Amino acid sequence: MKTGIVRDDRYINHGHESHPESPRRLQSVHAMVDSPEMASLFVRIPPRYASEEELRMVHTKSYIEEVAATEGQGIAWLDPDTQTSEDSFQTAKLAVGGVLNAVDAVVGGKVNNAFALVRPPGHHSHSRRAAGFCLFNNVALAAQQALKKHKLERVLIVDWDLHHGDGTQDTFYESNSVLFFSSHQYPYYPGSGALQEVGNGDGLGYTINVPLATGAGNAEYLKIYQQLLVPATLAFKPELIIVSAGFDTYFMDPLGGMKVTTEGYAYLTRMVMDLAKVCCKNRLLVVLEGGYHLQGLTASIKAVLLELKEETKTQPKMLEMIASGASSDYDAVISKVKDKLCDFWYK
């Protein structure tokens, strides 16, 4: 497998070390990907600064100007959680540009799959406001790039971050070109993501929310994804799969209450890779969102990268075996999601 990687020192230039979404998150990840055993495995995809026209695929002009006004300033706050520093506007544009270049590389066939190691994260960012550590919605812009520039008709976004991807959901809530699947701790920040939120208008049925009580680990996540993501994806037939990859479901994450381990992220990656193989010539783009336990974040990203590259290759039987050990605590939510969307994906 040819696996691309977006990795750039400039992604450190945003925010402060006292904030959970700190520059230190990527410093330890960079040391890992630069190590001799890893560095030779991946194709570097150089990032670029996204243009205003590209940002406008999701964001309003006035919101882009609001973020631009923070340039050169000290600490500023765009919302109670979302801090900027003097370089944040440029770094956020570089995050978008890195992700857009990764879309081009994956859809253009330069690589089979890719991991964009960018910050700031994006999935809480709305068209006209920042939220939850996110400035511009990297993943929503990536999907728009695939639809508008590459003329794809169906893109799947899988959001396995601990938190609901509310900004991404809002962007495509009335669209049937994007199937948005989010599993998240619930009730929790940002408050949205109830299973009744299933899209609207043309997008009715194209948003799948799986709200979860705390405590889900590898087995439970695999079972939920096998039962809910796999059939919906096979029916939707995406031409590209994008993952909003948060690692705050890690069992030691300071913000989360889930129990996923490093291996668990490799298993989820394999499941999504298997879907990409069946549906869309392996086309898969993984984009970094949250994850605040520094060692856990680095080890988990490494596990995902090695699975993407097929240095490790989790077998389907292994996934089945692990999922079969899931507690029944999440069976009710699986049934409710299936009932709610039985006319669309779970006939």
Known catalytic residues are 124
**Closest residue to Zn ion, Cβ-based?**
290
290 belongs to the binding site for Zn ion (CB under 5 A): yes
Q: How far is the CB of 246 from Zn ion (least distance, A)?
A: 4
Please give, one letter per residue, the 3-state secondary structure of the chain.
CCEEEECCHHHHCCCCCCCCCCCHHHHHHHHHHHCHHHHCCCEECCCCCCCHHHHCCCCCHHHHHHHHCCCCCCCEEEECCEEECCCHHHHHHHHHHHHHHHHHHHHCCCCCEEEECCCCCCCCCCCCCCECCECCCHHHHHHHHHHHHCCCCCEEEEECCCCCCHHHHHHCCCCCCEEEEEEEECCCCCCCCCCCCCCCHHHCCCEEEEEECCCCEHHHHHHHHHHHHHHHHHHHCCCEEEEEECCCCECCCCCCCCEECHHHHHHHHHHHHHHHHHHHCCCEEEEECCCCCHHHHHHHHHHHHHHHCCCCCCCHHHHHHHHHCCCHHHHHHHHHHHHHCCCCCCC
Rule CB under 5 A: is residue 296 a binding residue for Zn ion? no
248 binds Zn ion (CB under 5 A): yes
Q: Which of 94, 162, 308, 341 binds Zn ion (CB under 5 A)?
A: 162
Q: Give the nearer residue to Zn ion in terms of CB position, either 292 or 346.
A: 292
Only one of the segments 2-10, 48-56, 266-274, 285-293 lies at the binding site for Zn ion (rule: CB under 5 A); that segment is 285-293
Residue 128 Cβ, how far from Zn ion at the closest point, in Å? 21
Residues in contact with Zn ion, total (CB under 5 A)? 6
Question: Contact at 8 Å (CB) between 169 and 182?
Answer: yes
Which of the ranges 151-159, 220-228, 239-247, 305-313 carries the binding residues for Zn ion, by CB under 5 A? Answer: 239-247
Among 97, 246, 264, 296, binds Zn ion (CB under 5 A): 246
42 vs 160, beta carbon nearer Zn ion: 160
Please choose, from the candidates 79, 293, 24, 336, the residue with its C-alpha nearest in 3D space to the C-alpha of residue 190. Answer: 79
**Binding status of residue 163 toward Zn ion by CB under 5 A:** yes
Using CB under 5 A as the binding rule, whether residue 166 contacts Zn ion is answered as no
Q: In angstroms, what is the minimal distance from the CB of 265 to Zn ion?
A: 14
- Binding part of the chain for Zn ion, among 4-12, 109-117, 156-164, 324-332 by CB under 5 A, reads 156-164
Report, in Å, the least distance between residue 163 CB and Zn ion.
4
Q: Looking at beta carbons only, is 121 or 205 nearer to Zn ion?
A: 121
| Span near Zn ion by CB under 5 A; candidates 95-103, 107-115, 161-169, 189-197 | 161-169
> From the CB of 39, what's the least distance to Zn ion, in Å?
28
CB of 291 to Zn ion, least distance (A): 7
> Which residues contact Zn ion by CB under 5 A?
161-163, 246, 248, 290
